[in-house]
Amino acid sequence: MSRIPALSLEHAPAASVPLLEGVKKSFGIVPNVFKTLAHSPAALGGYLQFSQAFGKNSLSGVERESIALATSQVNGCEYCLAAHTLFGSKAGLSADAIRSARDGDLSAYTVFAREVVSTKGRVSDESLVAARAAGLTDAKIVEVVTQVALLTLTNYLNSVASTDVDFPAVER
């Protein structure tokens, strides 16, 4: 049971309603994470703006979803694991690749993302050397950290709120 309720369009603050309608237009539904963010129009609007701006990065859909899965696994967010398992499969990840991404074994992106999350950003010099040796440019490293930050926000919100999972459930 959710500790912070997901708001329907009828119960959301007036400033959140057009934002939620935009989410519905994009997704076809309004996932509960956005309905929870809607309690604060500033939080919802800020998240959507940041997410949209960051959508113009150089990471592929597979890379973004792999990082999302690795981050959500380390942070223990069942909601985001369910959502990004679905999104990852739509981006082209197989079930085995999804599991590998969650374990941080799929690519240099997931290895580095797990390191960023588990060390709270205090990665070692050796981790940076390894990431660069695996082909991550400084721009890609910045984008991995940014993707981790986006996911950490929703991971933490979903954990605090106990957001009801409205995607197909996955085992943690």
* Residue 8, SS3 per DSSP: coil
Say which CATH class 1-56 falls into. Answer: mainly alpha
Note whether 136 and 112 are within 8 A (CB).
yes
Distance CA 146, CA 54 (A): 8
Sequence ranges of the domains in the chain: 1-56, 61-160
Distance CA 132, CA 138 (A): 8
Name the CATH topology of 61-160. AhpD-like (1.20.1290)
Distance CA 19, CA 3 (A): 22
pLDDT tens-digit readout, 108-138: 999 999 999 999 999 999 999 999 999 999 9
pLDDT tens-digit readout, 59-80: 999 999 999 999 999 999 999 9
Reported confidence tier of residue 1, pLDDT bands at 50, 70, 90: confident
